[in-house]
A and B are shown apart, each in its own frame.
Chain A
């Protein structure tokens, strides 16, 4: 299955105006973590928090809705969120934990839950794992190349970055700049080239921008827990939803991109095997 196992797919966005303003797409991640916190489904969440360096995130344990909101928005570089899970439980004393993770991070978390060799008393404390779609990720220096060198503007002027419609976009207060995605090829981390998961197939709930119009997200509910938390949030009015069948570009595009990623990266895997290099999948 090209989109993994799921219960339901909808197009959705957070109803909270404050979240709409700061979120990357429909504010599903921020909205759902904030809802889960308010409903005491979780006591805290690991998110990609801001640092002193522009667009260089650090994993952060958020204990309030304000802290979750402060971490909204996509940073197209590493935030090793998994690293903070243990700290959240041991040092912050969180018994019910939420987190956001790109597909490869969900793999680290789920493997630890199924096989917690050295990781004690953490597996069962993760109550909500929101996966976000991911085509590839970049070292921070690659972002600097795109923005400072290719676009010729300073990182600190950037208010939002986005990948879509074949381009890497940068928004400043009064400008919209872009470079074709072709020019980003070769700058992604090479570990991404063997990745077979686009739509976070192991999340409780997965979300991303592709498939839905600007300002909206495509939401996939997967596990029983994830499905019920998302439905509860919709019922409580935290999200408005639309039938994915009625939105453009809809599921076709999502399926197409996911299939393309799997196909291209499977080729890299096969090539690596031929060369005698190790592959985990």
Chain B
């Protein structure tokens, strides 16, 4: 079965793939190791991956490339990078199994809008990659008036305009989450990918999520995970509760995504720990 139909099957778009059981992760393993990547590469077809750069800062793809130890293997044996300004010398957008879209979309920029629509047509699976693409992140603060395009003022997460299949938020996403996602994707490990699929619906992020959805809901336990996770150090802990400095917050959504009281992947954690 081709990977494209496998992915569609996994996403419930077409028929489920027969006899392709998701492989359980090795016990006690937290990161995607080199051996794991090699093993996966040997056993599976290579997905065709494209990288689409909208209103982003290239930080997301920099983060992807920080998987130094597995990157050569990843690029040569695991995936085919078939499209992407900084990655491949290709002008026509080809068919893709997975398109990683970095950056939000500027509603006043015709080219971006066109590119986004084209991605949706050409890719089996569209991933909002990085918080700008997923939640708008700091482009939420854009309001135009700058040279040379004072009219460029409205930026939205890509899911406002097209159907998005999964999201990997982060400003930028960590190198590890990318490696783990690619390995899961190639393995067809849908259990691992489920949170990413659920997060495709989260198109707004803000430090105030902690107050609204955790503290206000009588769920906060003062663990400090949000303060640890915030990539701009906007969250501090006061009397065991998160306190968000709104002036530092870039609306990436990571604090709420990492909070153990927003969602909790118990099965996956036990599998990863060998428990």
Contacts and interface: CB of A to CB of B under 8 A. Distances in A.
A140 B237 CA distance: 14
A107 B264 contact: yes
Contact of A116 (B28, B131, B174, B195): B174
B175 A104 contact: no
B258 A108 contact: yes
B239 interface: yes
Given A110-B269, A117-B174, A280-B219, A81 B224 contact: yes
A84 interface: yes
Interface stretch (B9-17, B79-87, B91-99, B164-172): B164-172
A270 to B, nearest CB: 15
Contact of B258 (A112, A124, A194): A112
Interface string B22-52: 0000001011000000000000000000000
A104 B258 CA distance: 13
A279 B131 CA distance: 24
B63 A108 contact: no
Interface in A249-281: 277-281
Given A223-B273, A224-B274, A119 B264 contact: no
A140 B241 CA distance: 12
Interface in B216-275: 217-225, 227-229, 231, 237, 239-240, 252, 254, 257-266, 268-270, 272-275
A278 B219 contact: yes
Contact of A105 (B28, B223, B237): B223
B177 interface: yes
A140 B176 CA distance: 37
Nearest to A281: B264
Contact of A117 (B224, B258, B275): B258
Of A77, A105, A116, A137, chain B has the most CB atoms within 10 Å of the CB of A116
A80 B269 contact: no
A191 B221 contact: yes
A118 B240 contact: no
A190 B215 CA distance: 10
A192 interface: yes
A104 B260 contact: yes
A118 B171 contact: yes
Interface string A100-138: 000011011111111111111101100000000000010
Given A115-B195, A190-B218, A107 B260 contact: yes
Interface in B151-196: 168-177, 195
Contacts of A281: 264, 266
B141 interface: no
Contact of A78 (B239, B259, B268): B239
A111 B219 contact: no
B140 to A, nearest CB: 17
A133 to B, nearest CB: 15
Given A4-B275, A82-B223, A116-B176, A278 B217 contact: yes
Contact of B223 (A104, A115, A194, A201): A104
A83 B224 contact: yes
A127 to B, nearest CB: 11
B254 A117 contact: yes
Contacts of B264: 107, 111, 280-281
B217 A114 contact: no
A118 B28 contact: no
B219 to A, nearest CB: 5
A160 interface: no
B171 to A, nearest CB: 6
Contact of B221 (A121, A189, A279): A189
B114 to A, nearest CB: 30
A5 interface: yes
Contacts of A193: 218
B176 A120 contact: yes
B224 A105 contact: yes
A104 B224 CA distance: 10
A124 B30 CA distance: 7
A116 B180 CA distance: 9
Contact of B263 (A81, A277, A280): A280
27 contacts: A59-B224, A78-B240, A80-B224, A104-B221, A107-B264, A111-B265, A112-B225, A116-B177, A117-B173, A118-B169, A119-B258, A120-B174, A120-B176, A121-B175, A121-B176, A123-B30, A123-B176, A189-B221, A191-B219, A191-B222, A191-B261, A193-B218, A201-B275, A223-B273, A280-B219, A280-B260, A280-B262
Interface of B: 28, 30-31, 63, 66, 131, 168-177, 195, 213, 217-225, 227-229, 231, 237, 239-240, 252, 254, 257-266, 268-270, 272-275
